[in-house]
Copies of this chain bind each other. A is one copy, B any other.
Amino acid sequence: MTKISLTAARDLAVRVLLASGVSEPNAEPVARGLVAAEADGLSSHGLLRLPAYADQALVGKVDGLATAVVERTATGTLRIDAKDGFAFPAIDLAVEEGAALAEQAGIAGVAIHKSHHAGVLGRHVEAAAQRGLVALAFTNSRSAIAPWGGKVPLFGTNPIAFAAPRRDRPPLVVDLSVSKVARGRVMVAHARGEPIPGDWALDAEGRPTTDAAAALAGTMLPFGDAKGAALALVVEILAAALTGSAFGFETSSMFDAEGAPPRLGQLFVFVAPRRLAGEGFADRLEMLISAVLAQPGTRLPGQRRLESRTRAEAEGIDIPPDLRADLERRAGLR
């Protein structure tokens, strides 16, 4: 592993994207998003995605010059066409305009279509919570999970993210994929040649497997069995059907430059707490959190990410030397 500061990592990522024909207004949020994932210890959504992003921009699978367009479709709803560009700039727009709308309307729904990989979904709801809003987000992704009782992947690992603002603290963030583990962790195991636990995935014949390659050819298991599979269906409906986007079984891979633009979808719901809770939301949330933490052995969701972030801000992040060399080559630095 090689150590790099967050600033240097962002700068490197921007250069790679610019060298791949991505506009500066698009390169900035993509670089920020990927490096934020690294800082939070979520390397499966970090810089290892960048070579594929860059290749996709080079061949036009993602339009690096796209400018997302917002349409106000009713007093409380926005529809964003990401124009086959990266998801990050479209999502930044969704958070900015959606947050302003929620302040005014009490609740706002924002649907993004013709979109791309959302990265760490929790980061986006966290940004909304930093503006004082409670936020929910859903995104779909390429088929990885079979419907309950079936063997062929149909739904993505389809994360659900939630954030709530806290007084004088970073927001509370819950971010969970409906697969037992994120598919990215199987990809990391595969890249490292390591086995995976036997309850993460089934192979193509529907048998449990510890082989990462067999798992990638098969189907991820949902967390919580049938209930998790039902949630995968709900997220597919919310993130794809309700945004006018491609289903997981219609989309192309996020990991190579083959095929058509992925046209994934993201759905956000932003709520101004005082409109629904009356006064006192912040105090009540702290009371609930105190009751959780009063029990020995408990911790809040998202704490590991915050600890990793603090460390990364002080010490930088570790990336594989091969990846760094690849990125530096792409950036024209070697």
Contacts and interface: CB of A to CB of B under 8 A. Distances in A.
Contact of A75 (B106, B164, B284, B285): B106
Contacts of A104: 74-75
Q: Is the interface of A mostly helix, strand, loop or mixed?
A: mixed
A271 B163 CA distance: 20
Given A149-B297, A174-B230, A292-B233, A109 B154 contact: no
A162 interface: yes
A273 B79 CA distance: 11
A295 B154 contact: yes
A223 B233 contact: no
Interface residues of A, number: 72
Interface stretch (A31-39, A242-250, A309-317): A242-250
Contacts of A297: 149-151
Given A224-B223, A237-B288, A275 B73 contact: yes
A291 B77 CA distance: 29
Contacts of A154: 291-292, 295
A276 B111 contact: yes
Interface in A219-258: 222-225, 227-228, 230-231, 233-234, 236-238, 240-244, 247, 249
